[in-house]
Amino acid sequence: MTIRSSTKLSDAIHLLAYIRYFKGDDLSSEAIAKSIETSPVVVRRLMSQLSHAGLLITTRGKAQPELTIPEDQLTLLAIQQAVDPHPILTVDRKTNPKCPVGGHIQTILTDHYQEVEAAAKKQMAAITLADIMTDLHEANRKDELK
C-alpha cells in the first residue's frame, strides 16, 4: 500500500498567493493555471477544496475568488488539511497479527508517527500566507533592481 505525496499543497499555496498578488486583475482558473503550469480544472479542483474548507469564497461564473480570513491567519497547516490531508508517515497495515512483533508494531508506530506528525504540524501552523507574500514581494523587488 502506498500513498502519494503530492504537490497539491505547493499548488494551493501558489494559487492563494496568486490571488493575493494579482487581486483586482484576472483571477480566472485559466490565468492561475498558466502560472502553475497546469490545467484550469486542476486549479478549480483545488479552489473547490479550499472553499469547502471555508478558506476561500468562490462564485460560479465569476472569476473573483477571495480569502475568507486575513493572510496572516491563513496557515500552511490549514491549507494542507484542506487540499491534502494525508499523514506524513505511513504505517504498513498488512503485518502478521500472530507474530509478537507484527501484531503490535502497527499500534506502536502509529503512536510514534503521531509525535512526528505533531512536530511537523506545529511548524506548518507557524507559517502563514502573509509570510509567503512578504517573501514574494521581496523577491520581486530585488528583480526590479537588476
Q: Interface residues with DNA (CB under 7 A)?
A: 1-4, 6-8, 26-30, 38-42, 44-45, 47-48, 51-52, 58-63, 65, 84, 86, 94
Q: Are 102 and 93 spatial neighbours (Cβ–Cβ below 8 Å)?
A: no
The interface partner of residue 122, options being DNA, a copy of itself, none and the CB cut-off 5 to 8 Å by kind, is a copy of itself
Q: Are 83 and 48 spatial neighbours (Cβ–Cβ below 8 Å)?
A: no
Residue 75: strand pairing partners: 128
- Distance between CA atoms of 123 and 126, rounded to whole angstroms? 5
Closest to DNA by CB, 87 vs 130, is 87
CA angle 124, 130, 136 (to 5 degrees): 105
- Reading the block at residue 109, the C-alpha cell is 508506530
Indicate whether 1 belongs to the interface with a copy of itself (CB under 8 A).
yes
Residue numbers at the binding site for a copy of itself (CB under 8 A): 1-7, 9-11, 13-14, 17-18, 21-22, 34-38, 76, 86, 88-92, 94-96, 99-102, 104-105, 107-109, 111-112, 115-116, 118-120, 122-124, 126-127, 131-132, 135-136, 139-140, 143
